[in-house]
Amino acid sequence: MANILFISCYKATALAEKKLHAHLSLGEQAQLRLHQLICQACNRYVNHSILIDKWLKNREKQEDKLLIINDEEIEKLKEKILEVHKKREG
Ligand SMILES: [Zn+2]
């Protein structure tokens, strides 16, 4: 029974993406949370996904912006992600 709670990184990242756009079942939520507790790489992945998703949604609201994302914006987003890491990991 406990084995179903332990999932691969592949499954964890798929669940993280699903979580951004749909509801996870209670089982899926438990699987993802447990995996995040034991896997720092996926924990980072989840945090990055949330940040990038928020950034994109916020960007969509700005009507004057085109779909093309320029290098300057990408660099700013990278800096933001690195800042979040520094705050969380000291
Ligand atoms: Zn993982």
42 CA distance to ligand 1 centroid (A)? 4
pLDDT band at 69 (very low <50, low <70, confident <90, very high): confident
| Domain ranges for the chain | 2-89
Measure 10 CA to ligand 1 centroid, in angstroms: 7
What amino acid is encoded at 25 in this protein?
A: S
pLDDT tens digits along 5-53: 789 999 999 999 999 989 999 999 999 999 999 999 999 999 889 988 8
DSSP structure string for 37-48:
HH-HHHHHHHHH
| 16 alpha carbon – ligand 1 mean position (Å) | 11
Q: How far is ligand 1, taken at its centre, from the CA of residue 79, in Å?
A: 24
User: Cα of 29 to ligand 1 centre, how many Å?
Assistant: 14
Look at the pTM and tell me if it is higher than 0.85.
Answer: no
Q: How far apart are CA 41 and CA 55, in angstroms?
A: 21
CB 82 within 8 A of CB 51: no
Ligand 1 centre and the CA of 15: distance in Å?
A: 11
pLDDT greater than 60 at residue 1: no
**Residue 85: phi, psi to the nearest 5?**
-60, -45
